[in-house]
Amino acid sequence: MAVVANQADSKMKLVLNAGVDVNNKDIIKNKTFSNVKSTVTNENLYNLGIALSGLQSYALTNVVRYEEYQLINEI
């Protein structure tokens, strides 16, 4: 039984620091961008995340890339 992985989707998430709460814990906000082309390089995606963070109200903490795959059983 051979299982093949086909890339289904790619997303980018910006993790933003929105300050601290009354208990002095960080408040984290996320912005997710769907339909990212799978051919984009990690460096270009990171640079895009940096550029988009300049349009946000909160400070950028991290840029995350998600890759989703569809697993197919080929007989």
Please report, for the chain, the start and end positions of each structural domain, with discontinuous segments joined by +: 2-74
How many alpha carbons fall within 13 Å on the CB side of residue 11?
A: 12
DSSP string covering 7-34, please?
Answer: EEEEEEEEEEEEEE-TTSPEEEEEEEE-
pLDDT tens-place string over residues 15-73: 999 999 999 999 999 999 999 988 899 999 999 999 999 999 999 999 999 999 889 98
Q: Which residue type is seen at 31?
A: K
Number of helical (H) and strand (E) elements in the chain, helices listed first: 1, 3
The residue count of the chain comes to: 75
For residues 4 and 64, is the Cβ–Cβ distance under 8 A? no
The pLDDT, as a whole number, for residue 43 is: 97
Q: Between 2 and 64, whose confidence is greater?
A: 64
pLDDT at 12 over 90: yes
| Alpha carbon distance 18, 67 (integer Å) | 26
The pLDDT, as a whole number, for residue 34 is: 95
Q: Confidence class of residue 7 from pLDDT cuts 50, 70 and 90?
A: confident
Q: Between 74 and 23, whose confidence is greater?
A: 23
